[in-house]
């Protein structure tokens, strides 16, 4: 069996292709293992007072700089994060992106953007009053990412 990894910086989502002459038991096991790995939800350790919480990354709306450090916002809670924003940028999956000097957004959670041509635009989320601001410098890259996400969902 030959294993090859190809890098493509233009690729938006990782893709695994298995080429085989027939579907053997070994190939089926490889497929099952890869499926299980890709379906596991990525978690992050966050804090509230003295309690550690293990949250799925998909439940995070956004991270932002707060009074006591970096805060992670979910629909109904705010948690403290031990990472700096620049560290989060490096470790978070591609669905997260920087939207201002003080915030990183989970693009899969965006419900609406109230555009403001002269200042920051407001991002809204479903089922919560929470909002976060995207600065003018990050607005266009965000729109491109949301458009790419929309196109990948429609396929």
What number is the average pLDDT over the span 104-127?
A: 91
Check residue 147 and report its DSSP letter: H
pLDDT band at 125 (very low <50, low <70, confident <90, very high): very high
Q: Domain-by-domain residue ranges, the chain?
A: 43-154
Among 29-43, 62-76, 88-102, 138-152, the range scoring the smallest mean pLDDT is: 29-43
pLDDT at 57 over 90: yes
Neighbour-count burial for 127-151, b at 16+ CB within 10 Å, e otherwise: eeebebbbbeebbeebeebbeebee
Four-way CATH pick for 43-154: 2.40.50.1020, 3.40.630.30, 1.20.810.10, 2.60.40.2580: 2.40.50.1020
- Determine the Cα–Cα distance for residues 97 and 92; give it in Å rounded to an integer: 9
- Determine the Cα–Cα distance for residues 80 and 44; give it in Å rounded to an integer: 11
pLDDT band at 142 (very low <50, low <70, confident <90, very high): very high
- How far, CA to CA in Å, does 132 sit from each of 7, 15, 19, 54, 106? 34, 32, 44, 23, 11
pLDDT at 42 over 80: yes
What number is the average pLDDT over the span 93-120?
A: 91
pLDDT at 38 over 70: no
| pLDDT reported for residue 32 | 77
């Amino acid at each position: 069996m030959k294993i090859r990894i190809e890098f493509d910086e233009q690729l938006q989502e990782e893709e695994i292709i298995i080429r085989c002459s027939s579907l053997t038991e070994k190939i089926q096991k490889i497929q099952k293992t890869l499926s299980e790995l890709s379906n596991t939800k990525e978690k992050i350790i966050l804090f509230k007072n003295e309690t550690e919480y293990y949250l799925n990354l998909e439940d995070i709306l956004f991270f932002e700089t707060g009074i006591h450090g970096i805060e992670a916002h979910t629909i109904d809670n705010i948690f403290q994060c031990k990472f700096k924003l620049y560290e989060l940028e490096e470790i978070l999956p591609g669905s997260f992106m920087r939207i201002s000097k003080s915030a990183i957004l989970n693009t899969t959670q965006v419900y609406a953007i109230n555009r403001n041509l002269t200042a920051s635009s407001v991002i809204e989320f479903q089922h919560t009053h929470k909002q976060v601001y995207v600065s003018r410098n990050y607005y266009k890259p965000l729109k491109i990412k949301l458009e790419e996400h929309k196109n990948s969902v429609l396929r």
